Amino acid sequence: MSDSGNFEGFLGQVGDTLGSAHINTSDDTLTRYGENTLPGGDRRPAAVIYPGSTDEVAQVVKAANAHKVPLYPVSTGNNIGLGSRAASREGMVVLDLGRRMNRILEVDEKMGYAAVEPGVSFQMLADELKRRGGQWMISVTSGPPEGGMIGNAMDKGAGYGPLFDHFGFSCGMEVVLGNGEVLRTGDGSIDRPGDQPGDDGLVNWHVSKYAFGPILDGLFAQSNYGVVTRLGVWFLPRPPAIRSFHFAFPDDADLEEVIELCRPLKMSNFVPTLFRVANDLYAIGSEQPSPAYAASNGTRSISDDERKDLQRAHGLGSWNVSGAFYGPSMEAMEPQIQRMVSHFGASGKATYIPHEEALEKPSLACAISSISGEPTTTELGLLKWRPGGGNAWFTPGTPMDGKVANQFQEIGRKIYEDNGLDYTVMNVCGPRFARGLHVIGFNREDPDENARAARTYEQLAETFFDHGIGVGRAPLDWHDFHLAKTMPAFRDTVQAIKGALDPNGILAPGRYGID
Amino acid sequence: MQTAFTDAQLRVPEIADARKILTDCVHYGFCTSVCPTYVLLRDELDAPRGRIDLIRDMLEAGGAPTPRTVGYIDRCLSCNSCMSTCAAKVDYMHLADIARAYIEDNYHRPIFDRLFRWLLARTVPDVRRFRRAIRLARLARPLAGLLPGRLKTLLTLAPGALPPTSDAVMPGVYPADGTATRRVLLLTGCVQQALAPRLNHATLRLLTRHGCDVVVPAGVTCCGAFTLHMGKEAQAKASARATIDVWTQQLDAAEASGAPIDAVVVNASGCGTTVKDYGRIFAHETETAEQAARIANLALDVTELLANVGLRPPDDVVPLEIAYHDACSLQHAQKITQPPRDLLREAGFTVRDVPEGHFCCGSAGAYNMLQPKIARDLGQRKAAHIDSTGAAALAAGNLGCLTQLALYTGLPTLHTVELLDWATGGPLPDGLKGMDLPAPVSRQAAASPAPASEGVW
């Protein structure tokens, strides 16, 4: 990406500032930072730098501007299925914020928030709150416990409880812009002489989202305009009891009924959590590898009969619904549970799986952990469904309309099967919209399967686009693809902002398709 | 992961085993951030993913490994935290065992390192030698400041006082109180018999109180775990084989008498992990494989057995706050996390989880003697987390962890069985003597959750 003269000059300047111990150009390191799970191959960086503070990030960004060396910031690098910690293009310099900037800067147990650096993982903050007595809980993903909270929020990641929207329930940022300037958003922008981040003076920084002027925070979600080095994240008081409920539906087409049943419960917020509506392979794939893979060496999809066998063996259905109530005791929530049993049981197709029974089924226990703010590794088992470590996530969505959701199921399932892959989906349902987490698992070491995975993603993306549907998050391989599907004015606008905040195109060029 | 072993190499069973494990690794890298040495040292090769690459290169190349490779493998704790988080289910535990044994057979360590390891392997698993060594260490303690790192650490780790030899649990049959519902073999161990026989006595009382006839056979000392962890496979297997022989005789005799053995009970989780792994360890040795698998299938941690039997707590309990530390061998290797907590809660204790619970305390078999600096850093880090819980005492299911953590936490360190024994009618554990204990309350009151201070539910 950069010529060697500039690159050496850049490393020299950064070494003078940070110390050479915080620059890594070893072969082992560069190889591993380029690894990812996507079909497009690895992307080896030119160097890895470990800044220790916002000021050091700013100095690195200024040096990169001076020498025209592109930087690629990562937090903890656990963005699995979307690019891991690989840069958008080969030859960039990875700015690994997670290694040294992993401090929980502030915990306010009265207001229920923490201010964290990019290296703070879900596990770290959950541990810290546990250490403080366990009266608060965070929203967690069902992905890697060591995933970074800032990285996840900035990529519009989500959990499953009332504070599921990790960007939405963050508040107040500190950002190093592409030009090296440091910005505080919201009420953090108040500029009194001597104010520093974390000062008591900025009392509203992490509690109020709507300060004077434009809401700049959104600029830094899924963009490459700045490096977020501090973020306020909100907590939820941990309830004395969490009681989950689960229903298994036997047929693929039952998705229509499931969506119709979930919508009113979320519209009224009678159920405080989102609904996890996982298909058979999403649930079972976290517990075991595909029993059908070896027979065809991965060339065909698992058959309906094989799926039915798996459903029977695991006591699950074609679709599996999970939600939970928060309350003062398990017993006190019995009336709500009975409402759910009669609501979902009305058609006679649902099999009720009580909380205690669900704890014995790893895929449902994982749902309970996620809803309870407890990071868990169970769902990472999905990555082992097929051998070879390939994994890409396609994340479209559907309105909470059963017929529409079912139509998209039929389209998606056919594309997977046409390419000999296994339809693996969880719909995460709110009142009006469900995000469809489509897992494309494949053998990355098999060139044919690798190509089929890429084809599956592109056919899914094209077909859903034809139906007016885009994606929430995207694997690195297809950032350009997705930006090209937006209207010219959108592309011109995001590019214009890039030019204003990062005129030399130093930060993550190509990420989200923005150069 | 692709490998390039030759056909000749793959005819060696251990290499074939290693290849199978290596091919499972797809370099996701989830293992790195949960690896204690990576978190402390931040070197890719000091993480499982890096070590797996090094092991592959070492085994493929054959011959003597480089000192650099050996250094990275030596720094691995074998805590197996990586295995709990690995999405590809890479069997790192056995890959590390194979690598350590390979190094032991093919690498000529510097003289001091070689002697030090020889001394440890010859002394620690032998109760008499170990006790003699501890006495010597206590005498030499005033000189500790003059000694280099590892020797200094040895003197630091030696306990201030040794229990009398007569305290060791003697071989015999310890009958159940009342009607026996189970008959079990108990591993009393080597280090535990030398340093803390009280744990074996507490286990005996607890098991017999809960309807178990407990058999402690003569001729069983070391299960092989300590030397296996050091890569001394031949010595480990010799110890394990001797243990298997004795236990097999007991199993056969019990079956012949019509009162078969229901379980082999282990109260040191590091040992339990090895005993449960006997089937795998002897898989390639036809004369021992069947017996080894038979023992492994019967092996249970003492908390697993008690969870099956059902604890019989009294009506009134002492609601002491206990920080429960998950020994790596229990949580990552044996996947036992809930039974000890459930039992402690049933016994009336308030159980506090320790933050960063997936991390090793630095004990790890011989690790705190071989890698004292990393072990100290981990011990201090873990102790700070333990102290932060505000608990009155610490519980764990492994003597190694308790010994290590006693160096760094101010809390009394107790084995889970000591607390369960006390709660169900046994004596007050030594570690709690002199403490101001909470007044007994009814078990129902102890079990009621504390009201949340935030939120309205």
Each residue of B179-203: pLDDT tens digit? Answer: 999 999 999 999 999 999 999 999 9
**Fold type of domain B313-447:** Rossmann fold (3.40.50)
Read off the pLDDT of each residue in A415-427 and give the average, rounded to a whole number. 98
Instruction: Kindly state the tokens that stand for A463.
Output: 């077909």
- Best of B54, B81, B454, B456 to disrupt the A interface (most A CBs within 10 Å) is B454
Q: How confident is the model at residue B150 (pLDDT cuts 50, 70, 90)?
A: confident
The residue among B24, B356, B28, B83 whose CA lies nearest residue A79 is B28
**Interface residue B427 vs chain A (CB under 8 A):** no
pLDDT at A75: 95
Q: How confident is the model at residue B136 (pLDDT cuts 50, 70, 90)?
A: confident
The residue among B397, B427, B390 whose CA lies nearest residue B411 is B390
Partner-chain residue, chosen from A112, A377, A445, that has the shortest CB–CB distance to B85: A377
pLDDT at B457: 65
**Interface residue A144 vs chain B (CB under 8 A):** yes
Same domain, A223 and A256: no
Class of residue A200 by CB neighbours under 10 A (exposed 0-12, middle 13-18, buried 19+):
exposed
Q: How confident is the model at residue B45 (pLDDT cuts 50, 70, 90)?
A: very high
The residue among A164, A38, A31, A77 whose CA lies nearest residue A474 is A38
CB-based contact B33 A76, cutoff 8 Å: yes
Read off the pLDDT of each residue in A401-408 and give the average, rounded to a whole number. 97
Same domain, A299 and A386: yes
**Interface residue B315 vs chain A (CB under 8 A):** no
Mean pLDDT, chain A, integer: 95
Give chain B positions within 8 Å (CB) of A443. Answer: none
Residue B25 clears pLDDT 90, i.e. is over it? yes
Class of residue A88 by CB neighbours under 10 A (exposed 0-12, middle 13-18, buried 19+):
buried
Each residue of A113-149: pLDDT tens digit? Answer: 999 999 999 999 998 998 888 889 999 999 999 999 9
Distance from CA of A449 to the nearest CA of B (A): 16
**Interface residue A42 vs chain B (CB under 8 A):** no
Same domain, A64 and A181: no
> Would residue A120 count as lying in a domain?
yes
Read off the pLDDT of each residue in A7-12 and give the average, rounded to a whole number. 96
Lowest average pLDDT, out of A402-406, B25-29, B292-296, B303-307, goes to: B25-29
Domains B7-106 and B313-447 alike in fold? no
Each residue of B368-385: pLDDT tens digit? Answer: 999 999 999 999 999 999
* Distances in whole angstroms, Cα of residue A446 to Cα of each of A449, B24, B264: 5, 14, 45
CA dihedral A291, A292, A294, A295 (to 10 degrees): 140
- Best of B1, B28, B40 to disrupt the A interface (most A CBs within 10 Å) is B28
* Distances in whole angstroms, Cα of residue A9 to Cα of each of A89, A97, B418: 21, 22, 63
- How many separate domains does chain A show? 3
Q: Are B95 and B21 in contact (CB under 8 A)?
A: yes
Q: How confident is the model at residue B448 (pLDDT cuts 50, 70, 90)?
A: low
pLDDT at B179: 93
Each residue of A367-392: pLDDT tens digit? Answer: 999 999 999 988 999 999 999 999 99
Same domain, A179 and A280: no
Percent of the residues in chain B that have a pLDDT greater than 90, as a whole number: 81
C-alpha A18, offset from chain centre: 31
> Would residue A250 count as lying in a domain?
yes
Residues 28-67 of B with CB under 8 A from A: 28-30, 33-34, 42, 44-45, 49-50, 53
CB-based contact A127 B355, cutoff 8 Å: yes
CB-based contact A383 B87, cutoff 8 Å: yes
Rounded Cα distance between B140 and B151, Å, is 10
pLDDT at A435: 98
The CATH code that applies to domain B7-106 is 1.10.1060.10
Distance from CA of B313 to the nearest CA of A (A): 23
Each residue of B263-288: pLDDT tens digit? Answer: 999 999 999 999 999 999 999 999 99
Same domain, A214 and A294: no
Q: Which residues pair with A469 in a beta bridge?
A: none
Mean pLDDT, chain B, integer: 93
Residue B318 clears pLDDT 90, i.e. is over it? yes
Q: How confident is the model at residue A198 (pLDDT cuts 50, 70, 90)?
A: low
pLDDT at A192: 84
Residue B156 clears pLDDT 90, i.e. is over it? no
pLDDT at A133: 82
Give chain B positions within 8 Å (CB) of A239. Answer: 452, 455, 457
pLDDT at B232: 96
Distance from CA of A334 to the nearest CA of B (A): 14
pLDDT at B141: 80
Same domain, A334 and A412: yes
pLDDT at A197: 60
Rounded Cα distance between B312 and B299, Å, is 23
Sequence-distant (6+) residues with CB within 8 A of B300 are: B263, B264, B265, B266, B272, B308
Same domain, A181 and A254: no
> Would residue A306 count as lying in a domain?
yes
Partner-chain residue, chosen from B30, B356, B390, that has the shortest CB–CB distance to A127: B356
Q: Are A369 and A242 in contact (CB under 8 A)?
A: no
CB-based contact A144 B30, cutoff 8 Å: yes
CB-based contact B452 A240, cutoff 8 Å: yes
Read off the pLDDT of each residue in B332-349 and give the average, rounded to a whole number. 95
Same domain, A109 and A258: no
Q: Are B204 and B188 in contact (CB under 8 A)?
A: no
**Interface residue A112 vs chain B (CB under 8 A):** yes
Residue A28 clears pLDDT 90, i.e. is over it? no
Range of the structural domain that residue A320 is part of: 241-476
Residue B178 clears pLDDT 60, i.e. is over it? yes
CB-based contact A238 B452, cutoff 8 Å: yes
> Would residue A489 count as lying in a domain?
no
Q: Are A159 and A272 in contact (CB under 8 A)?
A: no
Residue A4 clears pLDDT 80, i.e. is over it? no
**Residue ranges per domain, chain B?**
7-106, 111-157, 165-306, 313-447
Give chain A positions within 8 Å (CB) of B389. Answer: 131
Give chain A positions within 8 Å (CB) of B355. Answer: 127-128, 130-131
Residue A2 clears pLDDT 80, i.e. is over it? no
Domain at A438, CATH number = 3.40.462.10
CB-based contact B30 A78, cutoff 8 Å: yes
Handedness of CA B108, B112, B113, B116 (dihedral sign): positive
Same domain, A266 and A194: no
**Interface residue A207 vs chain B (CB under 8 A):** no
> Would residue A272 count as lying in a domain?
yes
pLDDT at A3: 57
Partner-chain residue, chosen from B86, B88, B452, that has the shortest CB–CB distance to A135: B452
Between residues B355 and B176, the one the model is more confident about: B176
Residue A22 clears pLDDT 80, i.e. is over it? yes
**Interface residue B455 vs chain A (CB under 8 A):** yes
Q: Are A419 and A109 in contact (CB under 8 A)?
A: no
Read off the pLDDT of each residue in A399-415 and give the average, rounded to a whole number. 97
Q: How confident is the model at residue B140 (pLDDT cuts 50, 70, 90)?
A: confident
Residue A171 clears pLDDT 80, i.e. is over it? yes
CB-based contact A377 B87, cutoff 8 Å: yes
Domain at A78, CATH number = 3.30.43.10
By C-alpha distance, the chain B residue nearest A102 is B39
> Would residue A486 count as lying in a domain?
no
Rounded Cα distance between B275 and B273, Å, is 6
Residue A296 clears pLDDT 60, i.e. is over it? yes
**Interface residue A121 vs chain B (CB under 8 A):** yes
Partner-chain residue, chosen from A32, A237, A377, that has the shortest CB–CB distance to B27: A32
**Interface residue B342 vs chain A (CB under 8 A):** no
pLDDT at B149: 74
Q: Please state whether beta strands A93-96 and A47-49 pair in parallel, antiparallel, or not at all (unpaired).
A: parallel
Domain at A222, CATH number = 3.30.465.10
Q: Are A111 and A207 in contact (CB under 8 A)?
A: yes
Read off the pLDDT of each residue in B164-168 and give the average, rounded to a whole number. 90
CB atoms under 10 Å from CB of A225, counted, come to: 21
Same domain, A459 and A419: yes
- Name the residue with tokens 């690019």: A83
> Would residue A495 count as lying in a domain?
no
Percent of the residues in chain A that have a pLDDT greater than 70, as a whole number: 98
* Side-chain-side CA neighbours of residue B183 (13 Å): 14
Same domain, A288 and A425: yes
Residues 214-253 of A with CB under 8 A from B: 237-241
pLDDT at B64: 97
pLDDT at B42: 85
Give chain A positions within 8 Å (CB) of B453. Answer: 135
By C-alpha distance, the chain A residue nearest B356 is A127
Residue A152 clears pLDDT 70, i.e. is over it? yes
Distance from CA of B264 to the nearest CA of A (A): 26
Residue B107 clears pLDDT 70, i.e. is over it? yes
**Interface residue A326 vs chain B (CB under 8 A):** yes
**Interface residue A25 vs chain B (CB under 8 A):** no
Same domain, A35 and A72: yes
**Interface residue B321 vs chain A (CB under 8 A):** no
ipTM of the complex: 0.78
Give chain A positions within 8 Å (CB) of B385. Answer: 127, 131
Each residue of A43-78: pLDDT tens digit? Answer: 999 999 999 999 999 999 999 999 999 999 999 999
Distance from CA of B44 to the nearest CA of A (A): 6
